Structure 1
């Protein structure tokens, strides 16, 4: 087995614009997401409610998804100023994990129902940093499945997989808006994805949008060719007017 490059920390993010949704809607979409994720990898088939300790969390599983439990969790996660009333237009936030050992686990943070337009709604998954879980998940086929799951469950506008190092590099260069990650999804609402040069590959996500994989290798900013490939991908997609911000 080929030796893997020095690990960067990776995440998957799905983002969509203002959308008014009730806690029940957020729960339904989350249940769909968890069901889809379970087929991507065994690590993604176990989720637990937040608790003070991992041992305590394991006493409160979220699988199989229970709509009443998820709905109540979103209700409790309504955005508000400390001690103040709920800020209805900011929607709801729910954070939870899969109860694994630190550095080998996965967390999900969901913000949905925000219709104020100041920030996008999002579903962000932090990925394992080390161990067998990281070796399995940090591959293009598995991450493509995760992105598909998020795109379908949340009817997202844009999804991306990348490393935090890559995100920081883009921020330093002032290009951290909508960008091309290792794996990228763009909703068909944005338009049609043009043909892209090898090694980039595109495939449809049902009738919803398009999945783009920059490289079959593990993307890393330590490889200048990968960074250049991401920049080239963004340029081509921007030329097709597909890289607009998620929120106006």
Structure 2
């Protein structure tokens, strides 16, 4: 079985409505739609693909479709166990799946969502780093608002938007836990102790 990966964009406190985030999500889906047929239609994540019957067509992610994306985001809000109130500080979350096209996805995440950092990371690398909450985690691909051009070692660094895209090797499965040590130290992620 293949190792699971997460492609995520993260930022600190930033108030925005479900409608504003739906507009960003529609822009993101539109940006990656022409990357390949596997990215032209997205489905809300479910326990099985048969349960995930509603497809969000990226090429139709216009103003009319933003209402359904807004509903999708609102439905994915984290709620308190007692009372069911929305946990505002956790923002909006919805998992979507599709086949990865790494560079295009990272570029779209950075340009559309304007995060503090993004990473394409395996569960194994996430566990190995034990990063403090709010700090960047280093994965196969990691983007940060910083100049990492002086970083040596096995990492490849290229400028992207107002930051740097760090690439550790040719494939996500080939990244050893030791490969993330130097970049994690440079980013000040540190380990929980």
Query: What TM-score bracket applies, with the shorter chain setting the length?
Result: 0.7 to 0.9
Flag structure 1 segments of 5+ consecutive residues without an equivalent: 1-5, 99-105, 107-132
Preserved CA contact (<8 Å) 1:15 1:156: yes
Task: Provide the residue aligned with 2:155 in structure 1.
Answer: 200
Q: 1:41-190 to 2 correspondence within 5 Å?
A: 41-49=36-44, 54-55=49-50, 57-58=52-53, 60-63=54-57, 64-65=60-61, 66-81=65-80, 84=83, 86-87=85-86, 89-90=88-89, 92-98=91-97, 106=98, 137=100, 142-171=101-130, 177-187=135-145
Q: 1:12-23 to 2 correspondence within 5 Å?
A: 12-23=7-18
Q: Deviations over 1:76-123 (max 9, x none)?
A: 34443357364473364342545xxxxxxx4xxxxxxxxxxxxxxxxx
Q: Deviations over 1:19-59 (max 9, x none)?
A: 1001110101111111223244432221134678634533x
Task: Provide the residue aligned with 1:114 in structure 2.
Answer: none
Preserved CA contact (<8 Å) 1:214 1:233: no
Preserved CA contact (<8 Å) 1:73 1:94: no
User: What is the deviation of 1:227?
Assistant: 2.5
CA distance change for structure 1 residues 45 and 84 in 2, over 3 Å: closer, same or farther? same
Flag structure 2 segments of 5+ consecutive residues without an equivalent: none
User: What is the deviation of 1:236?
Assistant: 3.2
RMSD in angstroms over aligned alpha carbons? 3.0
Preserved CA contact (<8 Å) 1:162 1:219: no
SS in 1 for 2:159: strand
Task: Provide the residue aligned with 1:216 in structure 2.
Answer: 170
Task: Provide the residue aligned with 1:120 in structure 2.
Answer: none
User: What is the deviation of 1:152?
Assistant: 1.7
TM-score between both structures, scaled by the size of structure 1: 0.62
Preserved CA contact (<8 Å) 1:21 1:91: no
State how far apart, in whole Å, the 1-side matches of 2:74 and 2:173 are: 38
- Corresponding pairs, count: 184
TM-score between both structures, scaled by the size of structure 2: 0.76
